[in-house]
Structure 1
Amino acid sequence: MADADVRDATPSDAADIARLQLATWRTAYADLLPPSVVAELDVGAAEARWREAVDGPVTVLVAEEGGQPVGFAAGGPAPAEESASADGSAPPDAGSVALVGTVLVEPRWGRRGHGGRLLVRLAQQLGRDGATRGIAWVAEADQATTSFFRGAGWAPDGTVRTLDAAGRPLRELRFSGPLDLELDLA
């Protein structure tokens, strides 16, 4: 494998992040999302959102291979509604829960350790910022991502939600896990 690295994103990365997100959604999520949702994905709007996120309180990272962006991750403090227990109550550690909003690697660059490097680096940063535990919402039918988080030592915590994806229900499981991760590419 060529030289691989993870670095902090800058506003100039917004176009690449948007391109990676849309390419991944169109490929990896084509069976999870209705065709109308995939068809309506707008790279310009996504780029504007990512430019704002990079300049905001969210940690955004970019994975590169050979100097080319191949994936990204984003996370930050979990909003109260995201970290709430299934009954809606705040967990005892609510103030120190981080939300991993996304870890995406363009499918053609998959299985090369980029996702693991992104999650480990993101977890380290979130931990330095005071988080003690991470959560991530994962589509129940997304076997690749559920396997990825399980491999990192995370597990569903019993909280589920169903999103409306253009009239098609999309059930998501909330995974929860430690932030003291170590990278094992063996």
Structure 2
Amino acid sequence: MSTPTPDAGVRPARPQDADAIGQVHANAWQAAYAQLLPDRTAAALAPPALAESWLAAITDPPSPQHRVLVATAGPDVVAFVALSPGTDADAVDGQDAEILVLLVDPASTGSGHGSRLLNASADTLRDNGFGVLRAWVPEPDEDRQRFLAEAGFTVDGATRVLDASGDGTATVRELRWSAAIGSAADR
């Protein structure tokens, strides 16, 4: 007898998910950010290269507080999120957490997977004592900004410029979005 598979769900990533996460990562970045990235980054965005780094993130995270969650449609991984304690200079240790990446495969957008991941992220982080969730978003990414705004995030005034090329020829300005998520102690 086989185990039933839910139509859609969120769960912690497993090592066997790394290939699918790499594919989702490549598909989503190509669809959303291809115009922002220099041509030479294409090799770094190849699904096998990304899968290798995601396997390491799943099996050997930098800390016990780092998490990778996946959204599924039936048995298929269609989206993922990577979470960490806050990494910014102004982050409050044990209080601030960060979405390192949240991506939905372009073929699966509009199905609620991003919202499910965001809600599961807030629940997971809150259960681990975090009270603030932050995310960096490229300034030209209006869809991601709208998504976060609808989820209760606001721009908190912090900005940074990323050097996508490594030589200053392709830079991207990012805005930091933040939301209070409370903590387990607040319940």
Residue 73 of structure 1 contacts residue 103 of structure 1 at CA under 8 Å; is this kept in 2? yes
Structure 2: stretches of 5+ with no match in the other structure: 1-5, 183-187
Q: Which residue of 1 aligns with 2:108?
A: 109
The CA deviation at 1:130 is 1.1
2:176 to 174, 177, 183: 174
Q: Which residue of 1 aligns with 2:133?
A: 134
1:102-146 deviation per Cα after TM superposition (whole angstroms, max 9, x unaligned): 111011110111000001001110111111001111001011111
1:151-181 deviation per Cα after TM superposition (whole angstroms, max 9, x unaligned): 110011101000111121100001111226x
Q: Which residue of 1 aligns with 2:42?
A: 38
After superposition, residues 153-164 of structure 1 pair within 5 angstroms as 153-164=152-163
Q: CA RMSD in A?
A: 1.6
Residue 32 of structure 1 contacts residue 142 of structure 1 at CA under 8 Å; is this kept in 2? no
TM score, norm. by length of structure 2: 0.85
Match of 2:34, SS state, is coil
Deviates more, 1:120-129 or 1:36-45: 36-45
1:115 is aligned with what amino acid?
G
Match of 2:35, SS state, is coil
C-alpha distance in 2, partners of 1:118/1:33? Answer: 26
1:69 to 70, 77, 97: 77
Residue 97 of structure 1 contacts residue 131 of structure 1 at CA under 8 Å; is this kept in 2? yes
Match of 1:111, SS state, is coil
C-alpha distance in 2, partners of 1:35/1:144? Answer: 23
Aligned length: 170
2:46 is aligned with what amino acid?
D
The CA deviation at 1:73 is 0.7
C-alpha distance in 1, partners of 2:42/2:143? Answer: 19
Q: Which residue of 2 aligns with 1:24?
A: 28
Q: Structure 1 runs of 4+ off > 6 angstroms?
A: none
Residue 15 of structure 1 contacts residue 47 of structure 1 at CA under 8 Å; is this kept in 2? yes
Match of 1:29, SS state, is helix
The CA deviation at 1:40 is 4.2
Match of 1:117, SS state, is helix
TM score, norm. by length of structure 1: 0.85
